[in-house]
Amino acid sequence: KNEVEQSPQNLTAQEGEFITINCSYSVGISALHWLQQHPGGGIVSLFMLSSGKKKHGRLIATINIQEKHSSLHITASHPRDSAVYICAVGSGGTSYGKLTFGQGTILTVHP
């Protein structure tokens, strides 16, 4: 079992739909990151959170530390949101930078 599991692996939506991507992890973490990766490889950090909820524009990220679960929500989805969304957890300790990644969720939003 992977330390970080995402679901679904693939997600197709129509423009305007509300989207949820889930992430579960099995290790103790210092922070959880949501990342966006477009074709070609570039990765953009969307959120870093260790508790509660964060919102940026149409994106909302929540985390439940007790349940070891996080969700990324996209409201009013748009075709430009089409990308791979990756959940990654930071373990802290002596390797502050070590991130363990989920396999990613491929999101396609159709007009």
Name the helix (H) or strand (E) containing 63: strand 59-64
- Shortest spacing between CB 41 and another protein, in angstroms: 4
Please identify, using beta-carbon distances, which residue of 21 and 86 lies nearer to another protein. Answer: 86
Contact string (CB under 8 A) for another protein, positions 80-99, x = contact: ------x-x-x-x-xxxxxx
Tokens 């579960």 belong to 24
Let me know: does 104 contact 6? Beta carbons within 8 Å: yes
**Edge-to-edge strand ranges of the sheet holding 52-56:** 4-7, 19-25, 69-74, 59-64, 52-56
Please identify, using beta-carbon distances, which residue of 60 and 99 lies nearer to another protein. Answer: 99
Cα 20 from Cα 61, distance rounded (Å)? 10
Residue 43 makes contact with another protein by CB under 8 A = yes
Residue 10 makes contact with another protein by CB under 8 A = no
- Could you count the other beta carbons within 10 Å of the beta carbon of residue 24? 17
Among positions 12, 30, 64, 108, the unique one binding another protein when judged by CB under 8 A:
30
- Shortest spacing between CB 54 and another protein, in angstroms: 12
Would you tell me which residues interact with another protein (CB under 8 A)? 4, 30-31, 33, 35, 40-45, 48, 50, 86, 88, 90, 92, 94-104
